Chain A
Amino acid sequence: MAKTILKIPGSERYHSDGHRPERNRISPTLKIFEHDPRLEVDPITLEVVAHKLWQINDEQGQALKKVSGSPVATDANDFNVVLCDELGDIVNIGPYYLPHAANVDFMVKWTVEHRSENPGIHPGDMFLCNDPWVGALHPQDVAVLSPVFVGDELFCWTGSTIHAVDVGGINIGSWCVDAEEHFAEGMAYPPIKIVEAGEIRRDVEDVYLRRSRAPALVGLDLRAHIASNNVAKERIHELVGRYGAEIVHAVMKKQMDYAEERFRARLREIPDGTWRCETYQEVAKTGDRRVHKTVLTLTKEDDRITFDFTGTDANVGMINSTRAGAVGGSMVAILPQLCFDIPWALGGLHRAIEFVTPVGTIINAEFPHGVSMGSISGTWSCTNAANVCIAKMLSSVPELQDRLLAGCVGSWTTVIASGLDNNKQPFVTMIMDCMAGGWGARSFADGVDTAGLMAAITGQCPNVETNEGFYPILYLYRRETKDSGGAGEFRGGMGATSCWVPYDTDGRPLQLVLATFGEAFPTALGIDGGYPANTAMYKMARRATVADWFARGEIPTDIALVGGELEYLPQKCETLQEPGDVFEHTWSGGGGFGDPIDREPERVAEDVRNDAVSTAAARDIYGVVLDASGGVDTDATERRREAIRAERLS
Chain B
Amino acid sequence: MRQIDHHLAIDDGVIVCRRCGHELAPADENFKSGAVMKERPIEQANPLIVDPRTFIDDRVVFRQYYCPGCAALLENEVVLASTPPVWDKQLAVQTADAAARVPAAAEGRR
Residue B25 is within 8 A (CB to CB) of chain A in the complex: no
Residue A553 is within 8 A (CB to CB) of chain B in the complex: no
Residues on A with beta carbons closer than 8 Å to the beta carbon of B60: 280, 291, 520-521
Q: Are B57's CB and A528's CB within 8 A?
A: no
Q: Are B7's CB and A529's CB within 8 A?
A: yes
Distance in angstroms from B75 CB to nearest chain A CB is 6
Q: Are A275's CB and B89's CB within 8 A?
A: yes
Residues on B with beta carbons closer than 8 Å to the beta carbon of A283: 55-56
Residues on B with beta carbons closer than 8 Å to the beta carbon of A165: none
Q: Are B90's CB and A275's CB within 8 A?
A: yes
| Chain A count of residues within 8 A CB distance of the other chain | 65
Interface code A281-315, partner B: CB below 8 Å = 1, 0 otherwise? 01100000111010000000100000000000000
Q: Are B6's CB and A529's CB within 8 A?
A: yes
Closest to B50 in A: A568
Residue A617 is within 8 A (CB to CB) of chain B in the complex: yes
Identify which of B58, B60, B70, B86 gathers the most chain A CB atoms within 10 Å of its CB. B58
Q: Are B6's CB and A291's CB within 8 A?
A: no
- In the bound assembly, the distance between CA atoms of A621 and B6 in angstroms comes to 19
CB under 8 Å from chain A, chain B span 52-83: 52, 54-58, 60, 64, 66, 68, 70-76, 78-80, 83
Q: Are A594's CB and B6's CB within 8 A?
A: yes
Residues on A with beta carbons closer than 8 Å to the beta carbon of B47: 483, 534, 614, 616-617, 621
How big is chain B's contact interface, by range? 35 or more
- In the bound assembly, the distance between CA atoms of A275 and B60 in angstroms comes to 21
Number of A-B residue pairs at CB separation under 8 A: 164
Given contacts A291-B58, A529-B7, A533-B46, is CB(A277)–CB(B78) below 8 Å?
Answer: no
Residue A347 is within 8 A (CB to CB) of chain B in the complex: no
Residues on A with beta carbons closer than 8 Å to the beta carbon of B108: none
Identify which of A397, A528, A537 gathers the most chain B CB atoms within 10 Å of its CB. A528
Q: Are B92's CB and A271's CB within 8 A?
A: yes
Q: Are A398's CB and B3's CB within 8 A?
A: yes
Given contacts A273-B89, A396-B89, A519-B55, is CB(A528)–CB(B48) below 8 Å?
Answer: no
Residue A438 is within 8 A (CB to CB) of chain B in the complex: no
Q: Are B73's CB and A535's CB within 8 A?
A: no
Q: Are B83's CB and A593's CB within 8 A?
A: no
Neighbour of A649 across the interface among B66, B101, B102, CB < 8 A: B66
Given contacts A273-B92, A483-B48, is CB(A282)–CB(B56) below 8 Å?
Answer: yes
Q: Are A526's CB and B36's CB within 8 A?
A: no
Residues on B with beta carbons closer than 8 Å to the beta carbon of A271: 2, 91-92, 94, 101
Residue B4 is within 8 A (CB to CB) of chain A in the complex: yes
- In the bound assembly, the distance between CA atoms of A574 and B76 in angstroms comes to 35
Neighbour of A395 across the interface among B6, B46, B56, B71, CB < 8 A: B6
Residues on A with beta carbons closer than 8 Å to the beta carbon of B73: 529, 595-597, 648
Q: Are A648's CB and B52's CB within 8 A?
A: no
Given contacts A290-B58, A535-B46, is CB(A525)–CB(B78) below 8 Å?
Answer: yes
Neighbour of A531 across the interface among B2, B6, B46, B70, CB < 8 A: B46
Residues on B with beta carbons closer than 8 Å to the beta carbon of A290: 56-58
A-B residue pairs in contact (CB < 8 Å), sample of 22: A271-B2, A271-B94, A271-B101, A276-B88, A280-B78, A291-B58, A392-B89, A398-B102, A398-B106, A401-B6, A483-B47, A487-B46, A521-B49, A523-B78, A528-B74, A531-B45, A534-B47, A568-B50, A570-B55, A614-B47, A616-B47, A649-B68
Beyond A396-B4, A398-B101, A617-B47, 5 additional contacts (C-beta under 8 Å) are A289-B57, A290-B56, A389-B88, A396-B5, A597-B73
7 residue pairs, one from A and one from B, having the closest CB atoms: A645-B71, A272-B92, A529-B73, A528-B6, A520-B52, A595-B73, A273-B91
